[in-house]
Amino acid sequence: MNYSFDFNSISFGPLLKGLVVTLELTIAANVIGLAFGFVLALLIMNRIAVIRLPAMLFVEFFRCTPAIVQIVWFFYCVPMLFNLFLGSMTMGILALGLNLMAFNAEAYRGAIQAVPREQLDAGIALGLNPLQRILYIVLPTAFRASIPVLLTNGIVIFQQSALVAIVAVQDLMYQGKSLATETYRPIETFTVVALIYFAVSFPVTQLVGFLERRRQLLMS
């Protein structure tokens, strides 16, 4: 192979700007996923079919369709169907946030089902109404139990955020593609992009592993 590597030709300025956009997308999507995922989990567990079935359909749609299709659908179809024109960044946040919301709902649901019955009975004995039992007993317990899965889902969304580059959101992947085109150095550029994604993702995956091991020790 006669290819001569030249990493000095890579300008990190645009990549860092793209990383900031990627982190903004990830944080906004996680806010949506963490907050509304719990609400969606409660709807899924509702005994009333009219409430439960649409929530289940929502979850299955986002879990069973590719994230790239969801992003493209929001970007092109929402303006046409609803005459609603939002920026590409907003569309990306909505698509990623709703996707994460569906996956987090399943994580919350499993954690809610694992809440000890004794805790709920204690709440009833203390005179807490259903909403208070959810806020003060179910939510804290379920959130702690599902933290490893929620973190894993969050880092997956960080990685999937690269897909918004196809709808011209100037994230890390978009900036990498532009830089590779300008410098004619795709190998060096995308190697650096991959290393940046790895540098952000790896510490979180290690944290997830640590929390899992700690949880197993506490349970043993």
Tokens, residue 92: 């990306």
User: Looking at domain 13-219, which CATH architecture does it have?
Assistant: Orthogonal Bundle (1.10)
pLDDT in tens, 53-69: 999 999 999 999 999 99
108-129 burial: b if 16+ Cβ within 10 Å, else e:
bbebbeebeeeebeebeeeebe
Question: For 2-6, 15-19, 71-75, 162-166, which range has the lowest pLDDT when averaged over its residues?
Answer: 2-6
> pTM to 2 decimals?
0.89
Average pLDDT of the chain to the nearest whole number: 91
Q: Which pLDDT score is estimated for 220?
A: 60
Going from N- to C-terminal start, the domains of the chain cover: 13-219
The answer to whether 208 touches 25, Cβ cutoff 8 Å, is no
Model confidence band, residue 97 (pLDDT cutoffs 50, 70, 90): very high
Contacts 24+ apart (CB under 8 A), 58-64: 58/102, 59/102, 59/105, 59/106, 61/102, 62/98, 62/99, 62/101, 62/102, 62/103, 63/102, 63/103, 63/106
pLDDT in tens, 121-166: 888 888 889 889 989 999 998 898 898 899 999 999 999 999 999 9
Question: For 82-96, 155-169, 204-218, which range has the lowest pLDDT when averaged over its residues?
Answer: 204-218
Model confidence band, residue 20 (pLDDT cutoffs 50, 70, 90): very high
Model confidence band, residue 174 (pLDDT cutoffs 50, 70, 90): very high
pLDDT, greater one: 28 or 116? 28
* Residues 153, 204: Cα–Cα separation, whole Å: 11
Half-sphere exposure of 56 (CA within 13 A, CB side): 10
